[in-house]
Structure 1
Amino acid sequence: MFSSFFSTAPPVDPTAPNFHPVSSKFKDAELYGELSPKDTEMLCTSSGFVTETQVFYTIAADGTSIMCQVIHSAVGVWYPTIQFTCKIFNPKTKERIWKSINVSNYVCPAPAHDKRSSKADEFSITYKAVPGSDYPESYVIRANPTPELQIFLEVTRPAAIPGFKIGKGDQGGYSYFGPDPKNAEGYVIHRFWPRYKATGHLVINGKANPVEGPGMFVHAIQGMRPNLVAASWNFAHFQSEEHGGVSAIQMEFKTTDAYGLRGAGSGGVMVNIGSLVMDGKLVAVTAETSGPNVPKTDKQVVKSRAIHLKPVHDPETGYQKPTELLFEWAGPSLQADAPGTYSASLTVDVGDVENPKGLIEKVDVLAEIPYVIKMAVNYVAGTKPYIYQWINPATLSITPPGSDSPTNVEGTFYNEATFIS
């Protein structure tokens, strides 16, 4: 710890970038990075400040939203905390089930499997590979979070819809914090399955409810205190069975003021990652950097944007919540038989404070995160992070290469807006 007093290294330029977004690291034609088996293995680190999640978002045929998540949290000298959380919401009946438990006897890898599989007394997630088949990968999720709820789901990835990260190789997917990416102060990475097929059932209070429908999977790691990673997040998840299977996803975060492209104080940089699936095929991957000192133009080949519209003050949370949101995608086609650019857009009306539309919940983050993280994270006094969660019917307008007019696709849209500071 005393070496810094005697360092002979040149001083860091205070206007040099101290944030290095993955969305700026790769050329337009190099955004798609295939996943290796190691990419979706759990790190399960026990040192430093690392939060790691596996999240499965399913939209059942009746419109029910099902989220299952494993959270592995390492907080310095404390033993890692492992949570299993699930949220089930039926937009027709408004029935909502939310369970979050600290699990016992967590093991990763699960016996006879690699680190894509894990288990505890309360759940198991088992990865299976069937190379060469129409569905070469799957996860089986079994969970008994409470006596009133049991979950069994198998999610399978179609061969024509591979998982992805932004950019190829070991460095693909990573955004780095700090002046030197090779000695980073922290990092963020996301790996996705943009569309899967889910089958199974939920047992709620002794009654079995069959589940079948599309969804998406994300494996995410934050190698840094969460209050330093981002000031806000947006997440978008559209699924439809029309046109052979369509999906559109986005994950976006905005850096805090401390991390930006011109050093400390130049933050507010937005990193947006997305993808489009059409006709049951992955057709485009998108990634865009925006914010201070990064001008946007409508002539860009690649767009990946989440825009809050008509914000209003929410006295319950203290934040300016959107009443509408606009999501935009554009990127080079990944299909050899359809060269050119795919583009898409979606606008969703989520209502105002008094008359919300599709609101599942406003999640008080500090009430839900593990105690040790809450104690270790120094949120600014008076700051209360919240996640708005919505699910609504929506129309995705998607334009294939060479088309003069968009194809309108009707589907279900789940989205989140997270405010941290």
Structure 2
Amino acid sequence: MFSSIFSTAPPIDPEAPTFHPVSEKFKDAELFGELTPKDTELLCTSSGFVTETQIFYVITEDGTSVMCQLIHSSVGVWYPTIQLTCKIYDPKTKQLTWKSINVNNFTSAPSGLDKRSTKADEFSFTYKSKSGSDYPESYSVVASPVPEVQIFLEVARPASVSGWKIGKGDEGGYSKFGPDPSNPEGYVIHRFWPRVKATGHVILNGQAKPLEGHGMFVHAIQGMRPDRVATSWNFAHFQSPDHGGVSAIQMEFKTTDVYGKKGAGSGGVSVNVGSLVVGNKLAAVTTETKYPGETNAGDAPVQCRVTHLNPTLDADTGYQKPCGVLYEWAGPSLISDKPGTYKASLNVDVGDIEQPKGLIEKVDVLAEIPKVLKMAVSYVAGTRPYLYQWINPATLAITEPGSEKPIEANGFLYNEATFIS
């Protein structure tokens, strides 16, 4: 499937599309694809170039951010590398706890469980099902990357908030790369639980701290070398207790020049997927495609969009860091008694270079990824990816179907901006 990843041979038609975004495959009524059990099973492939991840994000009631991530990386002929990353950040004390390790004795589908569950000496993600309950699916997340850091969480999806991907069926969720989508050079897919309830505790240096809050879960796969997938990524998840429970998430990537609408050289296509949860119900699933030359100020209606505001050169990274970020959503209602369109917007101030606001850290990505992945990416001249991570109090403005006056939800926004080239 990925035999052509390193090929430079042009397609037969030089202007044939080399990118097939999920954001253009499905019409409004087809955007919501409910997850099947298979969708959140790990592939754990050992062939080709595939990077797969499960990530649990939690924001507690006091604004503390907790992240647990499994990364399964298959790089060509090398044996897969399995990495566990845990990050805990308290914005009040500015204390950051971050650990990333390669795990030992990794197993997918431990005894008696399917491939939605995984374990190793240093962690376990155990999927649980309780059909017919208020929380029909959950994960028990136990992680101890080092003895000084231990995380214990129960992460549960409410029955009223379905997991989703863009589009139904086996093709749902996939953006494909290369001139032939039936035999792609690579792909990207995301599957989400957009709002979860999380309870548990962490132990840091022998001190226990209880945790309670809300967050999200994502299972994502890149079936391609990362530097060929995208030149940049944006991600955001907002959680609020207001109006019975509110969530807003977005994931956006921008393709390299090679992958575009009219063959090699027409790339720089942005694909954005997202969702809104209002009243603890999945209210809308949103997606949007933006092609090179299009601007956010155009006539096209907003569907799912992120805009960097007042970008400023950061001498530390060499990239144009935003001083603010605007997120916008619009999509058909999934709530039966509220037909029409849900809209929302959120504008967050992340500060300038000298006075950042809510900055958790700037991450030199090549310093953190597995060695074999670094070898494959870093040989590309000039590639030095950086990831900015923030968490801030924020207000989401929601316009419900049939209403012109927005309602506001106050909560916390965790957001990222990643620059690759």
TM-score when normalising by structure 2: 0.96
2:87 partner letter: K
Unmatched tracts of structure 1, length 5 or more: 5-9
Within a 5 Å distance, the mapping from 1:55-70 to structure 2 comes to 55-70=55-70
Q: 1:61: how far off?
A: 1.2
Structure 1 vs Structure 2: percent identity of aligned residues? 71
Deviates more, 1:296-305 or 1:128-137: 296-305
Q: Matched residues in 2 for 1:380 and 1:77: separation?
A: 19
Q: Tell me if 1:37 matches 2:37.
A: yes
Q: Matched residues in 1 for 2:312 and 2:146: separation?
A: 38
CA contact (8 A) 1:239 1:248 kept: yes
Question: Counterpart in 2 of 1:129?
Answer: 129
Q: 1:383: how far off?
A: 2.6
Within a 5 Å distance, the mapping from 1:162-181 to structure 2 comes to 162-181=162-181
Within a 5 Å distance, the mapping from 1:134-283 to structure 2 comes to 134-283=134-283
1:161 counterpart SS class: coil
Within a 5 Å distance, the mapping from 1:3-402 to structure 2 comes to 12-292=12-292, 303-402=303-402
2:330 counterpart SS class: strand
Q: CA deviation digits over 1:343-380, x for unaligned, max 9?
A: 00000000111000000000000000111111122553
Q: 1:246: how far off?
A: 0.2
CA contact (8 A) 2:377 2:383 kept: no
Q: Matched residues in 2 for 1:299 and 1:109: separation?
A: 49
2:331 partner letter: G
Question: Counterpart in 2 of 1:408?
Answer: 408
1:39 counterpart SS class: helix
Q: Matched residues in 2 for 1:300 and 1:373: separation?
A: 38
CA contact (8 A) 2:61 2:212 kept: yes
Q: CA deviation digits over 1:220-271, x for unaligned, max 9?
A: 0000000000000000110000110000000000001111111101111000
Q: Matched residues in 1 for 2:148 and 2:378: separation?
A: 36
Q: Matched residues in 2 for 1:132 and 1:349: separation?
A: 42
1:287 partner letter: T
2:108 counterpart SS class: coil
CA contact (8 A) 1:55 1:67 kept: yes
1:271 partner letter: V
Q: 1:396: how far off?
A: 0.3
Q: Matched residues in 1 for 2:189 and 2:312: separation?
A: 31
Q: CA deviation digits over 1:381-418, x for unaligned, max 9?
A: 23310000000000100000011110011110000000
CA contact (8 A) 1:286 1:302 kept: no
Q: CA deviation digits over 1:17-49, x for unaligned, max 9?
A: 100000010001110000000000000000000
2:344 partner letter: A
CA contact (8 A) 1:287 1:302 kept: no
Question: Counterpart in 2 of 1:417?
Answer: 417
Q: Matched residues in 2 for 1:362 and 1:289: separation?
A: 28
CA contact (8 A) 1:28 1:302 kept: no
Q: Matched residues in 2 for 1:100 and 1:244: separation?
A: 35
Aligned in 2, Cα 1:25/1:302: closer, same or farther, shift over 3 Å? farther
Q: Matched residues in 1 for 2:351 and 2:190: separation?
A: 30
1:362 counterpart SS class: strand
Q: 1:62: how far off?
A: 1.3
Q: Matched residues in 1 for 2:409 and 2:353: separation?
A: 28
Q: Matched residues in 2 for 1:345 and 1:352: separation?
A: 22
1:13 partner letter: D
2:286 partner letter: T
1:29 counterpart SS class: helix
Q: Matched residues in 2 for 1:379 and 1:416: separation?
A: 25
Q: Matched residues in 2 for 1:299 and 1:315: separation?
A: 35
CA contact (8 A) 1:236 1:250 kept: yes
2:38 counterpart SS class: helix
Aligned in 2, Cα 1:302/1:324: closer, same or farther, shift over 3 Å? closer
2:182 counterpart SS class: helix
Q: Matched residues in 1 for 2:129 and 2:381: separation?
A: 48
1:181 counterpart SS class: coil
Deviates more, 1:341-350 or 1:382-391: 382-391
2:151 counterpart SS class: strand
Question: Counterpart in 2 of 1:7?
Answer: none
1:318 partner letter: G
TM-score when normalising by structure 1: 0.96
RMSD after superposition:
1.4
1:125 partner letter: F
CA contact (8 A) 2:195 2:214 kept: yes
Aligned in 2, Cα 1:304/1:146: closer, same or farther, shift over 3 Å? same
